[in-house]
Structure 1
């Protein structure tokens, strides 16, 4: 152990966009549970190649006691993860965005015969949305089965406007992972309500069950509505 320069990541500022991940040649940084983290101090050379990559200035260099940088271990580690680097976290698909204001409406209007989008957040895949995303705080969440927008033609105008969208498939996705994510969202974001928009197929009922189970596990009481869409595109039930 010695006093040396090493990366410090401010998790309060970090939004989990992952832009810093590919900038670290040693593979010392990964996005874990929605936050960039230093996976091992021995992999960090303290030179700060990742500093200029963070859009939120969440990364800095500090001097403190830490294990010596081990170049051999770092290079072996980097070589081992190169083929499976988590590009999904470094990709714009996971960058947290909020939109839907006057500028976006103006842009929509420039396209003739184009129905304006009411989507107000990005990402929308439940697996990519960090629980601390600013757009979730105190919001009304629409948790939609990912088949719904294809089956229901007026999805934007009738269901999405004014809500924050999360999409998932209870049959094909990782149920336990989604359940844990919902628990974190309920505890951290404290939404004012959740509308579950599911298809009529039986497996889609797992989406509603997931929300109720997450509410129980989180110890958070939140109004929950369920709307069922038929495979021919009609609204079947509202509960």
Structure 2
């Protein structure tokens, strides 16, 4: 039969694995470092995985394919256990690592630094797009993990900026595009900086910001900053 089925562009796919948990039918798996559609009859063609791909490697095509089979899906899910992928075959953001500390423990108590946070809330899903602290502001859109990885986050990046925090891997980012677009159109932002981790899925935050700028039709100074998982600045 002719119907809509997921299509995966292996040239674009980086194997991050974002699409795997998004597919409730288990039709997609990471094999040899690339996302693969296991069988046509496991794909319902609704495309829940589309919005999860930071590389825009997934689309829906209409072609001849086996009919979607709910019984086959149930059988597949019943025998499929979650698989832990190595960094080359799964999402690097979930790869477990330990690091040796690069600094000696402090022998004397250092004076605490003042916080540079100047507003609340900070989570993007909670911040109204017309919040007063956004008006004419330099905005820092930060991935959740950045302040934990980068020791001088407040001093080097947050000072003088309004903060928005989001996770492109775990959050439902679909509403974020409209919210950021409205912010750009109505709050007259002075600049927008996106600071994100080096893992591939975190690049979705950069893509989200670029899409919002394009959708808003507003020209705003835009900068991206990449942080390594050991806390170093990579750009």
TM-score, normalising length: structure 2:
0.53
Tell me the SS of whatever aligns to 1:156. helix
What CA deviation, in whole Å up to 9, does each residue of 1:191-222 have, x standing for no partner? 01101000000001110110110011111111
Match of 2:227 in 1: 229
Distance, in Å, in 2 between the alignment partners of 1:140 and 1:122 is 15
Distance in 2, Cα, partners of 1:215 & 1:184: 10
What is the rounded CA distance, in whole Å, between the counterparts of 1:123 and 1:196 in structure 2? 18
Q: Does 1:182 align with 2:180?
A: yes
Instruction: List structure 1 segments (4+ residues) > 3 angstroms apart after TM superposition.
Output: none
- The answer on 1:169 being equivalent to 2:174 is no
Distance 2:188 2:204 in 1: 22
**Greater RCO, CA 8 A, separation 6+:** 2
Please state how far the C-alpha of 1:132 moved relative to its aligned partner: 1.0
For 2:234, what is the secondary structure of its paired residue?
strand
> Which residue of structure 1 aligns with residue 212 of structure 2?
214
1:14-163 to structure 2, matched below 5 A, reads 113-163=111-161
Offset of residue 113 of structure 1: 2.4
Note the C-alpha offset of 1:223: 1.1
Q: What is the aligned partner in structure 2 of residue 205 from structure 1?
A: 203
Q: For 1:224 and 1:131, how far apart are their aligned partners in 2?
A: 18
CA distance in 1, matches of 2:164, 2:176: 11
Give the superposed CA RMSD.
Answer: 1.0
- Structure 1 position 178, deviation (Å): 1.0
Query: 1:166 aligns to what SS in structure 2?
Result: strand
Aligned length: 126
Residue 61 of structure 2 corresponds to: none
Unaligned runs of 5+ in 2: 1-109
Q: Helix, strand or coil: the match of 1:197?
A: strand
**In the TM superposition, what whole-angstrom CA distance separates every residue of 1:79-127 from its partner, at most 9, and x where no partner exists?**
xxxxxxxxxxxxxxxxxxxxxxxxxxxxxxxxx8221100011100000
Q: Secondary structure at the match of 1:235?
A: coil
CA distance in 1, matches of 2:220, 2:169: 24
Q: What secondary structure sits across from 1:181 in the alignment?
A: helix
Match of 2:28 in 1: none
Which of the two has greater helix per residue?
1
